[in-house]
A and B are shown apart, each in its own frame.
Chain A
């Protein structure tokens, strides 16, 4: 158990819909990262938040947005969903700003868009 909690574990929805994925980082970790794992793109970094502020952006679509709340949990919002958004979405956390130590990953949220 990494200590990072993600909900829901599975989600099935239709094209055009909007979903919210939630992540609770390990106790004491200030950074939260979101990654997408799909068959064609592999594991890709989406976005990082540190102590409530956005710190880095990767290949995140404009239809996607995220935020980190004062209690440090984070939400990833995916809107106007397309079939290609079907993927496993991972949240990870770490103590500091950068990835110099172990990044602890949650079990992922599997999104299926029909």
Chain B
């Protein structure tokens, strides 16, 4: 079975602070895909990034960066110089390639990020 754990339920930061959202996953698949989604107060799910299990290079996109460490089964997400518009719930998710895991995203419980002025 697949599992995604986001231990941080809620994080509050002041604008311009850096913040890291943790994600730990469990899977028996040797090939798998990791995702981060953002859910702003309006409710939609916005795709942020996808990573496959063979690519452990860190990725940076503007103020966002992701640290994938297969050895610790973690896929952490850092927002640099946070802004009020970053306030949202962030979900980490996992999919595999085998029967039962390929057809769905397994989501973590989400981390609510509150950025204040």
Q: Measuring CB to CB, which residues of chain A are less than 8 angstroms from any residue of chain B? A: 2, 33, 35, 42-45, 48, 55-56, 58, 88, 90, 92, 97-108, 110
Report B21-56 CB contacts with A as 1/0, cut-off 8 Å: 000000000000101010000111111001010000
Q: Measuring CB to CB, which residues of chain B are less than 8 angstroms from any residue of chain A? A: 33, 35, 37, 42-47, 50, 52, 91, 95, 97, 100, 102-110
Determine the chain B residues whose CB is within 8 A of the CB of A88 once the complex forms: 43
Q: What does DSSP make chain B's interface, helix, strand, loop or mixed?
A: loop
Give 23 A-B contacts (CB < 8 Å), ordered by A residue. Answer: A2-B44, A35-B105, A42-B107, A42-B108, A42-B109, A43-B91, A43-B110, A45-B103, A55-B103, A56-B100, A58-B104, A98-B102, A98-B103, A99-B104, A100-B52, A100-B97, A101-B50, A102-B35, A103-B35, A103-B105, A105-B37, A105-B44, A110-B43
